[in-house]
Every structure is written in structure tokens, then in C-alpha cells.
Amino acid sequence: MTDAEIAKPFIKATQAVLSMMAKMDPKPGKPYVKTDYRAKGDVSAVMGLTGDKSGSFSITFPKKVAVAMVKNMIGDDIKDIIADAKDAVGEVTNMICGQARVGLTQMGLSLSAATPTIIFGDNHYITHVNMACPPKAGPSRMLGIWGLEEAGYGQETAYF
């Protein structure tokens, strides 16, 4: 199974979940190997993956996108933007990873996921080797990072 094959379920799940839950229309660009650990946003979620392989999935959003996502998901009745953003990013991450794992299972790769950890902060770092797929264009840029270690599987990232 190639890195590109592993990436496809994550890209498809990211597009489906953000479209359905956050009323966003992410468009992935071309994947490339990412050489630094700096997240390209301000709010990130990271989930550990275990099973046939081990690794992690993370997604990061600029503040503006995280706020827009929260508003799209719960409306304008935001009482605590920090808590709501943490909940929204965590829930979206669970859903993306869950759908991607279904796709990977159909490809013969069975994985379980941990609870996401949410990270806030400008220019924070997420330490794992990864591959990037930049967004084609638009203000709603977000970044998904995933990776499976072992057996030659690389780390994958998709920017939207």
C-alpha cells in the first residue's frame, strides 16, 4: 500500500466531514513531503492510531477558520469560543479519522484511534514526520496531517 493510497481516505473524509458538518468546501492540492514540525495554523487536533500499523492523524486550522467552523456548526450562539472551538475541532477530527479508518479497513488496514488532543497557539509545533498537500486556494485554509509508521508507510499531510 503506497502513501498516496493511504492518503486518499483521509482526504475524502476531510472533504466529506467539513462539507457536511461545517458547511465548508475544502479542495486539496498536491501532496509533498513536509520537512518541518510547525503547524500551519493556530488550533490543532492530534489522534494516535494503532492496529495493523501505528501512527497519528492531525488537522490544524487558522483561528479564523476555526471560528467560522464553530459558527457553521453551532450557529451564532457561541458562549465560549475557546471551549467551542476545542469541542468542534475535536469532533471534526473524530469524524474525519473515523471515516478514513473505514476506507482503510476496506483496503485491508485495520486501525483504532485514541481520543484527540487539542492544541492552541500561534505557530505551534506538532512533532511527527509528515507529507503535505497544500490547499488549492481560498481563505479557508486548513491542514490535515496523518501518518502510519512501519512497513515503509510514510507520514501524510493534506492542506485544504
pLDDT digits (tens, 9 = 90+) for 5-57: 888 898 899 889 988 988 888 777 776 666 777 777 788 888 888 888 878 88
Helix (H) or strand (E) holding 67: helix 63-74
Query: What class does CATH assign to 3-15+29-159?
Result: alpha beta
Closest of 54, 57, 48 to residue 17, by C-alpha: 57
Q: Say if residue 79's pLDDT is above 50.
A: yes
Grid cell in block for residue 46:
492530534
Are the C-beta atoms of residues 133 and 7 closer than 8 Å to each other?
A: yes
Grid cell in block for residue 100:
478514513
* Mean of all residue pLDDT scores within the chain: 77
Q: Which residues, 6+ apart, have CB-to-CB distance to 149 below 8 Å? A: 53, 54, 55, 155
